[in-house]
A and B are shown apart, each in its own frame.
Chain A
């Protein structure tokens, strides 16, 4: 076994030496050359498997971390009415229904989305080729349908490329308002541009790859399955006319490797980026609220407290540390929010449709529903890192409220649901705002003087204004 392994290593070593010989332009005997190519192939396969393995390992580790972070949120059972939920997944996530409220970005985004989903079928072939050392594994099985398939992928790749260029222009040259607001300064803007640039590079590589492949096929290069031209790359192929086989192979291999390295790197970049929406948009649509938007979730603990106050006979015997009593009313920090609120934060792609529709933001208040989501994610990431470092969360003197989201922002909300309606991926910034307001009012007694007056009027006069309850039906008397 050991001897075999040594022999194998020796061959690889030899092939590496031979490779440098080939690169130096020396021609070896035909048989030797083919053997060397085979060794080269084995090295590439091993490298590919190691790379893909490492990328998957790192990705899964990060996904687990995000899963843990989301589960730091309060438990909330969301699994009623699965048929309505699947319908939302189909309409909102797959069908991108809400995106189509803004036509131009919707169409462009649809190209990128369709490209991403469909071109991933080709990724299957690329990965299998990488592992098995084959080239265009599916071509012989699919015959002429293979060309149609790759042709479609190429058209999508070209559309993705064009869409991403337009998106870059919208962000950086046209400076569309919602894509250039204060909360995006710094990392969020870089993040957005990085994503677009990476997609442009990946799509270009894919097209270059196929173009060079076409040229290599024309030269009857060994290993390059003959498929004939593809729709788009066939038009680019003449650019590579006249290059010799060695150069073409070098370009093809570089493009292939850069593409797959790019894809694996992008996969690992996702969980650190706003681009994570491409994954979470789907579960987020499934877990979207099915209740009418106007309903604010009931606080059972407060309901019971009022009930026992009014009807003491119903109150259970007082027990020490009653588990039904919450340790806090409303939300002070991310752990007080529900897991859905936290998944919302990770699903947000910072498109700003919410902020664009927010009446407070439109009229110049500092409230921005998008910032509420970004702050929630930032805080959750900080809490996650804190747990990683200390095994359990150690108070860092910071909270979501005050340190990330200010009272002034929370005060400006009219609960109009425009942000909830606008969000293409079923996020509710309003849910978080209401929970934070509950904490402010019930735990900190922090409310403006006018609201305190309103509260006392409701308590004493049964109306938010200071009118005598006896005058409630005065209007009716006036009609008599």
Chain B
């Protein structure tokens, strides 16, 4: 009986020649199908996950930074904030940080021209953020998201930048039940009330972002916030920190905790600060993507099955002849498996080239504009390798079954085409 090695060798001999001398158009067609199957498997789930990941990245860049310290439950602010800030200022691994005062207030517009006092005032409840304009912009590049007017100037006082989501013309899609300001534009004066203190501000700009903590807040300078809120201490409510690449988020957090800052603030990495529901949506989208990808795999494997089956059926006579002259069934199977492997591998490699050479850079440069995030294409290499392996296994099975079906037929029947 022929050894396993001899059969494999002859199988490779036959398979490579069948591939080399196959019809070029058919080969291109099959590889194209496998390429699209691969892309379907990777890209669909990659976009779905990318919707959430894109949102998480924006959240990190514009709001949390790599590590964020927030006010402990039951406290009004982060105690000894200035010690925290001083530590960050002298840490060589911290590349940027911003400290934010936060407080609830009311913003009223068009009150000078209001004539109908029977109806509700043009006002809205809003979260006010007192920031150092230079520090905040260095950290989050918030000025890039100002869609009307400008961001705060550190040398000026009495100006406010409104989040777009509190304006009627930007948040109409929220529907009724959410208050919003109407007809407010840069240069208009608005009345801001915090507690019992009220002060007029000139609208400097409108900031619009897909990060809720940016577009729902209204920004004023630290000094204006302290004056308006009447807070006498310098304890802030939020400190967002960005570090360099020499340490991880977890290491940065661990250092801050080791310094004892967790006694006065809740310290979280950017990942920990992601709301649970977003993590769950990411998992759900990933599952959905895998389901859609699985359908793609089934379609791809059926294609390979049909291709190999037709190939094997039309070559039934030659398979019979090979068996007749003493070529082992294993050798013939190997020749067909080799062809399936070639199609699967070619499709995966071509798909990977398109994915990493074209699609991922294109999505990074031009993210999909979804209402709640800028969707990118997430295709990490380990996941892609796993999918290539899955595709190859399925392709091999799809190639093996029809080849086996034909090989099991009676040798003489195959030779005589019966």
Q: Are A and B physically bound partners? A: no
